[in-house]
Amino acid sequence: MQSQQDWWRGAVIYQIYPRSFYDSNGDGIGDLPGITAKLDYIASLNVDAIWISPFFTSPMKDFGYDVADYRGVDPIFGTLEDFDALVRQAHDRGLKVIIDQVLSHTSDQHPWFIESRSSRDNPKADWYVWAEAKPDGTPPNNWLSVFGGSAWQWDSRRRQYYLHNFLSSQPDLNYHNPAVVNQMLEEVEFWLKRGVDGFRLDAVNFCVHDAALRDNPANEAVVDSSIGVRRENPYAYQRHVYDKTRPENLVFLEKLRALMDRYPGTTTVGEIGDDDSLTTMAAYTEGNKRLHMAYSFDFLTEKCSRDFIARTVAAIEEKLSAGWPCLAIGNHDVARVATRWGDGDYDARRVTAHLALLLTLKGSVCLYQGEELGLPEAELAYEDLVDPYGIAFWPEYKGRDGCRTPMPWDAGKPNLGFTTGAPWLPAISAHQPFTVATEETQPDSTLQHTRQLLAWRRAHPVLQRGAIQLLDAPENVLLYRRTLDDQRVVIAVNLSGQEVKVPNPGGVKPAALARQPDFLQTDWSGQGIALQPWGVAVGIED
């Protein structure tokens, strides 16, 4: 039996991007009371937890991932009392609450940084990563920002450079300073004391830098990387050996885990953006001394072939032998999966197949808002963009706004029911057929399929926590066995638009599991099964 403390193992976590979820006060920006108002809808999906992207006090240069007060709720989202009410009401509905923590950097408007940059000898002078210029005035080394250009920004007050792995308005904290480590643990504990059930840790492998500030080596094989950085960004032209994923970061993670262990039943899931993300995931989740879970960008790329998925699953199994993965095929940083994995056309059967795959592979799951509706990526004009990443690399890369447009609730209401005011990003007309109100009335909608898949997964521990074994299968078919105790379930997913005959791997019976959705095929014979285009088949093995 799974203990209450291990609820996260195999859980499905629904990610909420609060700016775009639901606006309760008509100012065009989603807020915490808006999330509370939609908790019944979220609970109806049969998910286990919600993850709320940052709602902290912030100048919003990176839309909340630039924190100016780790303990404050930004007024655009509500108040601390609104957050407490949200937690209570979520718990009343059996939903756990996970919040984002951005530990590697702050906003340049944070009081710590304002003090740190004021002089070289103030109490917080060493709280951020400061370095002298080279004799010719250029930056200390060749490190690059994820958002383009040098990772170093000159500060005229101190006459030094400070490090920023992201925007220049997001200075990096100095984790080589014990005072910083202790302070950040206190910031985390503030929210634990308020009853949160865990944290999604943004860019968690960026916390510690190389103290010697050594240059990164060149990347001799430039490809779109596992941090979601594309080849038009110079960041992809380095191997990021010294600016992140330093061994010293493991020491911090062990201190963080010790804190979490003082609050039984809480959890952590780390975002890993790295050149060798699966190896880093393994190190960061090793044993019971670091993170509980981690996910990488491997499934957040444009690659979705059977072979790529199979290789990634096999690598996770090999490398995370002592850890636990969390799987995600979409989030607020990448194009929506219905488009990204869609090969240029939209097919609702394909969307359901990808959801079924996500929910039957081994691991916990992060499900991004709107994925349950099968939302395609929004196409925005350049003048509608607000994401600094997209603005910098337009038109080769259009940024992250297309996956952050407002959640479509009701086609019959202004702005698809998201707000009565002017939305911060357009509520696009292409999303009208995908509103919650519309899909609620359609028995075969993606929303109804998602609910059925999640109820089925919830009813069967083998789908949540069972071991996985990949099996030989025809081209474009992923075939795997999930095993827990004496239960053995075989799942086949056709990742193509053609019917495929799949041989019986041996002993698979045409039997359904309780609450199994009708659209999952169960007609296995001794010879096998004819798998429909984008079809998913499930059987029980002797």
**Residue 377 appears among annotated catalytic residues:** no
Selection from 249, 268, 292 nearest residue 201 by Cα: 268
The Cα–Cα gap between 536 and 349 comes to 10
CA angle, 498 as apex, 495 and 500 as ends, to 5°? 80
Q: Describe the crossing of helices 446-459 and 348-360 by its angle, rounded to 10 degrees.
A: 20
Considering 31, 48, 271, 371, which one is annotated as catalytic? Answer: 271
Cβ atoms within 10 Å of 536's Cβ, excluding its own: 24
Cis geometry, peptide bond prior to residue 395 (ω within 30 degrees of 0) = yes
SS3 454: helix
> If you search the block for the tokens 């996770």, which residue do you land on?
316
**Residue 541 appears among annotated catalytic residues:** no
Q: Describe the crossing of helices 306-319 and 277-284 by its angle, rounded to 10 degrees.
A: 30
For residue 54, the number of C-alpha atoms closer than 13 Å in the C-beta half-sphere is: 25
Residue 262 CB partners (closer than 8 Å, separation 6+): none
Selection from 294, 312, 350 nearest residue 470 by Cα: 312
Considering 66, 202, 333, 377, which one is annotated as catalytic? Answer: 202
The Cα–Cα gap between 76 and 57 comes to 9
Q: Describe the crossing of helices 248-261 and 277-284 by its angle, rounded to 10 degrees.
A: 40
Say if residues 408 and 369 touch (Cβ distance below 8 Å). no
The Cα–Cα gap between 70 and 65 comes to 11
What backbone phi and psi angles, to 5 degrees, belong to 266? -95, 165
Q: What is the set of active-site residues? A: 202, 271
